[in-house]
A and B are shown apart, each in its own frame.
Chain A
């Protein structure tokens, strides 16, 4: 018989060990899955986790690592604040899209004027604002009408996707693009380009912003009264009220921050790696960031590491698709498994597993 015994205090060891155990379990279960697909599991796992960093073509993949990790970390940091406070923004993908559209629109409005000192900062502000506004919709609906922010924010992703299609097909379409959908390429517009800061590293302004967000979030949560209030609201809502936390203000604040950061991530992506507004601009960073946030224990440093790991599965997954012919769905299942195992092993933080019946001494 297996029994779960509640621990008096959550285990510190397990709180940090569960992500590692979950990663290992995902590798094992993923390996079994890949074996069923007729692939050599060891080879697939190596292709995903090893080759991008230390393999033959690592010089190419390494740059990709930060490019993918940057938006994931930036979005996940914002989400983690809300998640800690019990405010569930599931629509970061939509806020990411709106940030990209707002930011790109501002940049394109100035085309072909050259004034980087003005245009790029304005785009950053517009990007953050786009995400912020999109997150305020579920925020205000929740505080005013008590709607569920999970549903509203999620459904707004699909609205954002429609707006993205409209922007790519008409509003922001490149007038010199020979009728093809998609905006001008911002990378070729010096005043608006989010260029690589160190060539070959994939380090662009969005990655810098992600690192700054990690540091800010760390200080906020560990040293600032607002961080204490955020944690309180999530752990004990009544105690938070007792401590003077205004729950409505906190909802708006957390949604606003997470929306703003997701918008920033979208802007840096559209002005950098993606280069243009296109119909298929969004690739699911906003959803994957949810996994990153939980894998990182909602802790800024943890999110930094989880973001890098998740980026690795993206890149490794692509490599596995290209070289081993693994279906894309298998990689998504693999990423999903990670969250599944993480939540399952999380039980160990609060509970102790006892095998067999207690024997009298």
Chain B
């Protein structure tokens, strides 16, 4: 075993009402890839924020390369040799790659020199990237490279990566892993946070598992199965979503050459989308972020209107119907962005329950809101979907990402939709909650609803989809039966090679 680089001893951090971390100890060796595993709300984010100097621990010590380490700011952490790639990128779309990199550096060199440095690093580590391109034009994978290169230019001894693969295609994941392994052989340690257990088993040398703010185990992930790891992290046995056999019914939702121009200058325009979803079917729509997922969701939810005949539900043209008209017919949607789109951050869960639920649940009577009924519904969702919150009166923004996700998905599912469209239903949700959300989606389909799942998580799509299609630059591939599709075929569909296939037909 090599020397210890980062040693954490008895860290504790409490927020009002919650102990985020309690007596957490572990260590990361030199040139070790160490995984940090845990459910949402287990305290992983708080922990790495303490390591990165964003949050100060209440108790406990850290040492880095043998010296006491108590960072007061990310600035100090970076000077010590720690860099971090966040789950959500902090990039400016209207600036180019080099400018974005310069903004995140302590002492940026002159621009032309920086551009050369970027090219050099990107070639050395196999991360192709042109420093002159606008970030707004980059794919999610390329944006992540910007963040990684920004870190690498600081020559860190420890690189922290928070859920790095959640936005990547399988091919991009491979490239990322090559890079990380290369860094490892050069002596850089990596602290790797992910929910994808297979990845951790493939990449990491050691793992620390957190549950409810405490360390519940340290192991070598290569010696455990993904299932064992998941159970360590959840503390109970994990249920694999069970696909119930059932007959498919009539076509519930049909798109016929749906074209919608994006209102956002960096958005994607939907071009000639056609598909049919039958009752009881789960249609999985894969694709790398930024290929029209958001636009497709709002076109289906009714936030953006289209040609009336382009969207049909039970044969009726509804392209010109707004969200509430569609809800009344039984077409519900759950957008990807939880805070600000699916839910209003500063409003209570009760108000957020009324937000999308009032049409179907009779919460509004002649314009007046029955808050008692709304509260009852919010509490039912909280209970059914195990949303962890002190109460339904709390603001949406006070919930952790995963808990809020459970709430907004549950809010739609419990309205008994006939057609449900969800975008990234388990984004940032822990393994057990993700499993229960998927199970709920499958149950909904088994009861005769048509379900459209837009997701970037291919494992998820393979697990629950009846049929699979891919979005690429605003175009949709021909849907194919999910059973029997290989990862390579899917990769090609995502990459847009399907266009040639269609041309042959």
Contacts and interface: CB of A to CB of B under 8 A. Distances in A.
The answer on A and B forming one complex is yes
A235 B344 CA distance: 7
Interface in B71-91: 72
A246 B303 CA distance: 9
Interface string A289-330: 000000000000000000000000000000000000000000
Contacts of A239: 340-344, 355
Contacts of A238: 335, 337, 340-341
A5 B395 CA distance: 17
A144 interface: no
Contacts of A357: 72
Interface stretch (A117-125, A167-175, A224-232, A265-273): A224-232
Interface string A226-248: 10100110011011111110100
A329 B342 CA distance: 48
A360 B50 CA distance: 13
Contacts of A232: 344, 347, 355
B126 to A, nearest CB: 37
B58 interface: yes
Interface string A200-228: 00000000000000000000000111101
A112 interface: no
B367 A224 contact: yes
A225 B369 contact: yes
A352 B227 CA distance: 43
A308 B378 CA distance: 39
A9 B397 contact: yes
A224 B354 CA distance: 11
B59 interface: yes
A232 B354 CA distance: 11
Contact of A9 (B322, B335, B359, B398): B398
B341 A228 contact: no
A358 B56 contact: yes
A336 interface: no
A9 B368 contact: no
A198 interface: no
Interface in B359-412: 359, 364, 367-369, 371, 394-395, 397-398
B327 A244 contact: yes
Contact of B322 (A225, A228, A231, A246): A246
Q: Which of A238, A241, A242, A358 has the most CB of B within 10 A?
A: A242
A89 B368 CA distance: 26
Contacts of B343: 236, 239
Contacts of B355: 228, 232, 239, 242-243
B341 A10 contact: no
B57 interface: yes
A1 to B, nearest CB: 10
Given A225-B364, A225-B368, A244-B302, A8 B346 contact: no
Interface in B319-350: 322-325, 327, 333, 335, 337, 340-347
Given A224-B369, A225-B367, A242-B303, A8 B347 contact: no
Interface residues of A, number: 24
Contacts of B194: none
A359 to B, nearest CB: 9
A360 B59 contact: yes
B356 interface: yes
Nearest to A357: B72
B70 interface: yes
A283 interface: no
A236 B395 CA distance: 13
A178 interface: no
A361 interface: yes
Contacts of B342: 239, 242
B430 interface: no
Nearest to B333: A242
Q: Looking at chain B, what size class is its interface with the partner chain?
A: 35 or more
Contact of B56 (A225, A228, A240, A360): A360
Nearest to A8: B398
Nearest to B59: A361
A224 B343 CA distance: 19
Contacts of A235: 344-347
B369 A361 contact: no
Contacts of B335: 238, 242
Nearest to A233: B344
A225 to B, nearest CB: 5
B358 interface: yes
Contacts of B368: 223-225
B448 to A, nearest CB: 25
A244 B332 CA distance: 12
Nearest to A246: B322
A236 B340 contact: yes
Q: Which of A241, A243, A360 has the most CB of B within 10 A?
A: A243
Contacts of B333: 242
A295 to B, nearest CB: 20
Q: Which of B302, B323, B325, B333 has the most CB of A within 10 A?
A: B323
A226 B298 CA distance: 22
B301 interface: yes
A246 B354 CA distance: 17
A242 B345 CA distance: 14
Contacts of A228: 351, 354-355, 369
Contacts of A231: 344, 347
A9 B397 CA distance: 7
A254 to B, nearest CB: 17
Interface in B42-80: 56-59, 70, 72
A241 B394 contact: no
Interface string B291-305: 000000010011100
Contact of B394 (A9, A223, A240): A9
A174 B342 CA distance: 59
Contact of A242 (B354, B356, B367): B356
Contacts of A240: 344
A231 B352 CA distance: 12
B394 A236 contact: no
Contacts of B340: 236, 238-239
Nearest to B399: A8
Contact of B58 (A8, A224, A360): A360
Nearest to B364: A225
B351 A10 contact: no
Contacts of A361: 58-59
Nearest to A241: B303
A226 B369 CA distance: 10
Interface in A91-135: none
B398 A236 contact: no
Nearest to B297: A242
Closest 5 CB pairs of A and B: A244-B324, A244-B323, A236-B344, A8-B398, A238-B341
Interface of B: 15-16, 56-59, 70, 72, 298, 301-303, 322-325, 327, 333, 335, 337, 340-347, 351, 354-356, 358-359, 364, 367-369, 371, 394-395, 397-398
13 contacts: A8-B395, A223-B368, A223-B369, A225-B368, A238-B335, A238-B340, A238-B341, A239-B342, A239-B343, A242-B303, A243-B323, A244-B322, A244-B327
Given A228-B351, A241-B298, A242-B355, 17 more contacts: A8-B16, A8-B395, A9-B395, A9-B398, A225-B368, A228-B355, A231-B344, A232-B344, A236-B345, A238-B337, A238-B341, A239-B340, A239-B342, A239-B344, A244-B302, A246-B322, A360-B58
Interface of A: 8-10, 223-226, 228, 231-232, 235-236, 238-244, 246, 357-358, 360-361
